Structure 1
Amino acid sequence: MSNLNYKHLYYFWAVAKAGSIARASEQLHLTPQTISGQLSLFEQTQGETLFRKSGRNLALTEAGRLVLSYAEDIFALGQELEEVLHHRPTERTLQLRVGVSDAVPKIVAYKLLEPALQLSQTLRINCREGKFDILLADLAAHKLDVVISDSPMPATTKVRAYNHLLGESSVSFFATSALRQQYPADFPACLDAAPFLFPGEDAAMRSVLQQWMDQQGLRPRIAGEFDDSALMSAFGQAGAGMFAAPSVIADMVMRQYDVNLIGSTDEIRERFFAISVQRKLTHPAVLAISHAAQGSLFRASTPSDPSTATHPVGNKMSDEEM
């Protein structure tokens, strides 16, 4: 690949954002012929086709999407440099591009990211939520700095990245007052035959939760399955079923969703990871997240009411980093 011509890259970026050469030419005050010629030259020098026809517009090829992701970063940094030189000569905004797996509870995601907001340096967070495999692909393409997940990266994934354990929590169970009154038995017997809201199949806790219930001889009625933990909690708030969440956020779950804690167990441990392309974390914001998680967030992960807790049975997963 030849040396990159940033003028050509800028024309490419403008057309990609505008969706057509005609609209880009109006914005740049250049003739369509000029932009078309520069684009053709850019594709020739890079040896890749970056656009394909899509009706009257242009659509990006796979190579074009990759180039656009880098162009976005390059010109965003250029704009940031201009702002720093003209408005904040002593301060540079720190960028954090983080992907959060949709299986991670929203409250946990916020608690994990909150320490980054306490940095003395001005921070701009670009937070994306999505399916774990899609986020890993974006991480591999350097579109993200880190991915927060409830499971480590699978060994079969063809992505060169590393798992960094942030911490783990016991699991607590919640229900509205009205629903709890319908199933008054002590915990965990109160779960038997009760309507229960399960995490989706992609959630790491799903299989562990089902295994624990089988060991306890519990057969709850599946009232719903949810990929989105916040939606599951909202249904729980409406009384559609009992549900589980990490004990580390039990107090916040009770306040936010107006539900009661009905029990907790150390026999289920939910783990949270930061996944990065670096073996050693170096991004200041990611380091702040990691240090806070390991130092205080997960230190006490069991609710304060001991009467609702079951005892560990020794099936805690290893803390060894994968």
Structure 2
Amino acid sequence: MVDTSIFSNDMHRLNYKHLQYFYTVADLSSIQAAAERLSITPQTISGQLKLLEEDLGEALFRKAGRGLELTDAGHVALEYCRDIFRLGDELQEVMQQGVSSRPVELRVGIVDALPKSITHQLLAPVIRNSGNMKLICREEQMTTLLGELAVHRLDLVLADSPMPAGMNIRCFNHELGRSPMACFARPNLIDKNQTWPQQLEGAPVLLPTDTSSSMRTNLLSWFQRRGLSVRIAGEFDDSALLKAFGSEGHGFFFAPEFIAEEVCTRYGVEVAGVIPELEQTFYAIVAERRITHSAVRELTEQASDAGLLNKKSSP
């Protein structure tokens, strides 16, 4: 359901055409380019955008060089615009196929640091067993996803850490499981004459950035406790890109032991060692203590069957 509270009370002039013009200008950052795409005059678009801004009570664009960029209000309006178009497309699809065929939606936010293979293994059984389920995934940083969860634009958030303390959002963490961390590298980087973890002394390592994963802090602490002096050869927001660099021999990297076989096969690397005392935990974060969405309930109940360990729930 789209929350229309950002719109003014005088809604009689807000229509799909206004939103189409707005969306096209936002996409192209230019009224002239939007006019060419829509085969209408720039004056028509300018006039309709002015009416839309008057209805909303906010400026949606500001000049940026020779083009336009969205204001803060414009970014908010664009998100709602996408929802409105999506719902409109869905309405047409449902009416064409029959009302009874409308699929149940599972809207999942995925923290961008969460390994994609783990995400797939968690969600695949739910989709496979749910028949007419429509999966909608959005990958973003934790704070953005929790904001959308709080206003019920998402059904759950999959993350590699619980909801941060101090956030003024009423959400609940459901632990799906945990896995020790493993260290991977190309065979030529692994010194067979050295024992684990002394192989890492002076070696290049690839780490997630401090904004993309809590695991970075844990790894740095572990290096210190072990007295290991490593060389940070790269930092990455995207875990897949990090592994890609690791596959080319640029350094040692770390991932849950749970996916070790897949990582080795896909990236041509070997396991240098395992860190039993350093675990990565996976969570489903929901907005309500009592889970009512059947697919979310199934996911939390079957997480252990997907190969993850102890299932818990905590506020």
TM-score, normalised with respect to structure 2 = 0.78
State the one-letter code of the partner of 1:259: V
Query: Counterpart of 1:10?
Result: 16
- 1:267: Cα distance to partner? 0.4
State the one-letter code of the partner of 1:197: L
Shift of the 167–234 alpha-carbon distance from structure 1 to 2, 3 Å rule, reads: same
Query: Counterpart of 1:276?
Result: 286
- 1:9: Cα distance to partner? 4.1
Q: Distance in 2 between matches of 1:260 and 1:31?
A: 59
**What is the correspondence of 1:136-151 to structure 2 with a 5 Å cutoff?**
136-140=146-150, 142-151=152-161
Contact 1:25–1:35, Cα closer than 8 Å, also in 2: no
Contact 1:139–1:277, Cα closer than 8 Å, also in 2: yes
Shift of the 67–276 alpha-carbon distance from structure 1 to 2, 3 Å rule, reads: farther
Q: Distance in 2 between matches of 1:65 and 1:222?
A: 36
Aligned sequence identity (%): 37
Is 2:206 the partner of 1:200? no
Shift of the 186–38 alpha-carbon distance from structure 1 to 2, 3 Å rule, reads: closer
Is 2:115 the partner of 1:105? yes
Query: Counterpart of 1:184?
Result: 193
Contact 2:121–2:306, Cα closer than 8 Å, also in 1: no
Q: Distance in 1 between matches of 2:37 and 2:207?
A: 52
Unaligned runs of 5+ in 1: 301-318
Aligned counterpart for 1:51 among listed residues 56, 60, 71: 60
CA deviations on 1:198-245 (whole Å, 9 max, x unpaired) are 222131111212222322333333222222211221122112222211
CA deviations on 1:67-126 (whole Å, 9 max, x unpaired) are 443343244223223222222554213333333222212222222232233143334433
Aligned counterpart for 2:137 among listed residues 124, 127, 133: 127
Q: Distance in 1 between matches of 2:69 and 2:82?
A: 17
Is 2:314 the partner of 1:321? yes
- 1:268: Cα distance to partner? 0.7
Query: Counterpart of 2:256?
Result: 246
Contact 2:183–2:252, Cα closer than 8 Å, also in 1: yes
- How many aligned residue pairs are there? 301
Q: Distance in 1 between matches of 2:153 and 2:21?
A: 20
Query: Counterpart of 1:166?
Result: 176
Two-structure CA RMSD over aligned residues (Å): 3.5
Q: Distance in 1 between matches of 2:302 and 2:39?
A: 46
State the one-letter code of the partner of 1:189: Q
Unaligned runs of 5+ in 2: none
SS at match of 2:285: strand
